[in-house]
Amino acid sequence: MKKCRVAAIAVIAAAVWLPAGPSLAQDTTKEIERYRQMLADGNPAELLEMRGEGLWKEKRGPKNVSLEACDLGLGAGKVQGVNAVLPRYFADVNRVMDLESRLVHCQVTLQGLNRADLVKRPYSLAAGERQTDHEALVAYLVGQSRGAKVNVPQAHPLEQAAFKRGEQMFHFRGGPYDFSCATCHGEEGQRIRLQDLPNFGTPADAQRAFTTWPAYRVSQGAMRTMQWRIFDCFRQQRMPELIFLSQASIDLITYMGVKAKDGTMDVPAIKR
């Protein structure tokens, strides 16, 4: 059953690549709507979630253990709802970590995998490339948070500091275009070309944005993680390249997560 549906999804996803000729914007919106409906009961990211679940439970690395003992913030082995309460402070490393940082941390500490190898190529960026193990693991983990209420903690001083820095960074204008995140995400009803831009100043927009990342991008035929989202927005901002799992990425995710309080997680989502 599941297999059939998954195969159908793959066909639909492939078809999306074909009609790339120029056409009117309204047609495009309609097309997207059509794919949305076709995909309504099956996001291609489900395939990836399944692969990720396999990786999570498989004995891997020099220590030949699974990741099932990983503490993502709600206790060892607990995966339900974790993405709704991350980033958060972890006493064992004395710092704030987001889901992707903590996942890499567990692969290093539990499985004995090499951090440099894990962070070298976290995203599958070539067209049609197989998604990375990192993306698969993230897909599985965030899928376990569907329906959970966003409640990114702000009790620990380091969590508060991450939020405060994230807020400053959100408004940091720099580079040859003078853009900040707020240039594109700081006003109501703003659009670049035809793309609606969430305004993190309003709870409803912040919730909608935060609770729908990671997302399967129909236009790219791949699921993208939250770290990728910020990496790519900084690229559009004409900034240098954001380092994967850097403190700035964690600070910004903390900021957005706190702004999205009480939203309901619906990830991996599906986007244009």
Partner 1 sequence: MKPITLALGAATGAVLVLSLAGCVATPPAATDAKPAAAPAATTVDAVMRESFKETGIAKLDRLNQSDLQRACSAASATGKTVDGKTAVALQNAARAAIKYPADGKYLGDWKRGEAIAQNGRGLQFTDTATTVNGGNCYACHQIDKAELAYGNIGPSLTAYGKKKGNSEAALKAAWGRIWNSHSVTACNAMPRFGDAGILTEAQIKDVMALLFDPASPVNK
* Residues in touch with ligand HEC (CB under 6 A): 179, 181, 183-185, 192, 195, 197-198, 208-209, 212-213, 229-230, 233-234, 236-237, 252, 256, 271-272
Closest contact distance (angstroms) between CB of 1 and partner 1 is: 30
Q: Which does 134 bind (CB under 5 to 8 A by kind): ligand HEC, partner 1, none?
A: none
Q: Is the peptide bond before 214 cis (omega within 30 degrees of 0)?
A: yes
Q: Is position 233 annotated as part of the catalytic site? A: yes
Q: What's the first-to-final CA gap in the chain, in angstroms?
A: 27
Q: CA torsion sign, 27 to 29 to 30 to 34?
A: positive
- Out of partner 1, ligand HEC, none, which partner does residue 6 contact, by CB within 5 to 8 A per kind? none
- One residue of 64, 80, 168, 202 binding partner 1 per CB under 8 A: 168
Q: Which residues contact 164 (CB under 8 A, 6 or more apart)?
A: none
**Residue 198 binds what, of partner 1, ligand HEC, none (CB under 5 to 8 Å, by partner type)?**
ligand HEC
The partner in contact with residue 213, picked from ligand HEC, partner 1, none with C-beta cut-offs of 5 to 8 angstroms by kind, is ligand HEC
Find the binder of partner 1 among 11, 91, 126, 155 (CB under 8 A). Answer: 126
Specify whether the CB–CB gap between 183 and 272 falls below 8 A.
no
Segment near partner 1 (CB under 8 A); pick from 6-14, 43-51, 57-65, 173-181: 173-181
Distance CA 42, CA 30 (A): 19
Using CA atoms, how far residue 109 sits from 74, 122, 171, 239, 243, in Å, is 18, 18, 35, 32, 21
